[in-house]
Amino acid sequence: MSEGAPAYDVGIAGAGQLAQMTVLAAWPLGIRVAVLGQPGEPATPMAAGVVGGDWKDPEALMRIGREVGVLTLENEFVDAEFLMAVEDSGTPVRPHPARMRVVQDKALQKQRLADEGLPVPAFAVPDAADDLEAIGRDLGWPLMLKSRHLG
């Protein structure tokens, strides 16, 4: 965040429909919202500010981070490591990047839920395709195999 008061109260990594709805909800509350995006995206016409860039770009995330009091996300796919860099630079990120790491990794997510005592279906995390036969014997067939990330 730059010296003094930030240019905008809230920044959103993204400028799509969810960012647009957030900007519209913030208006009557007097909250100045900047979005990270490109002209023509749904949230850019009504946002108080637009930082040009893409939420997949760590430098763009740092740029919006310097302009806002807090950074939030339009989606759960923004790289948690990039978000941690923004947090480490002094701009709070919500949800916290450590929480996003768990949300973004289905294996960590399932294990965390199980560790907290919440009911989850039986699961296993294969290290290689060769593990699937043994997992199928242990858990029963058919199996549902999901990507840990972005799946």
**Close Cβ partners of 132 (under 8 Å, ≥ 6 residues apart):** 126, 143, 145
Q: Which domains does the chain have, with CATH numbers?
A: 8-104 (3.40.50.20), 106-139 (no CATH)
pTM: 0.85
pLDDT digits (tens, 9 = 90+) for 110-121: 999 999 999 999
Cis bond leading into 58, ω under 30°? no
Is residue 101 predicted with pLDDT exceeding 60? yes
Would you say 16 and 76 are in contact if contact means Cβ atoms under 8 Å apart? no
- Which residues in the chain belong to E strands, given as ranges? 8-13, 33-37, 49-52, 68-73
Q: DSSP letter for 143, please.
A: P
| Mean pLDDT score, 124-136 | 95
Would you say 66 and 2 are in contact if contact means Cβ atoms under 8 Å apart? yes
Cβ–Cβ contacts within 10 Å for residue 90, how many?
10
Task: Find the helix or strand (DSSP H, E) in which 10 lies.
Answer: strand 8-13
pLDDT digits (tens, 9 = 90+) for 2-21: 467 899 999 999 999 999 99
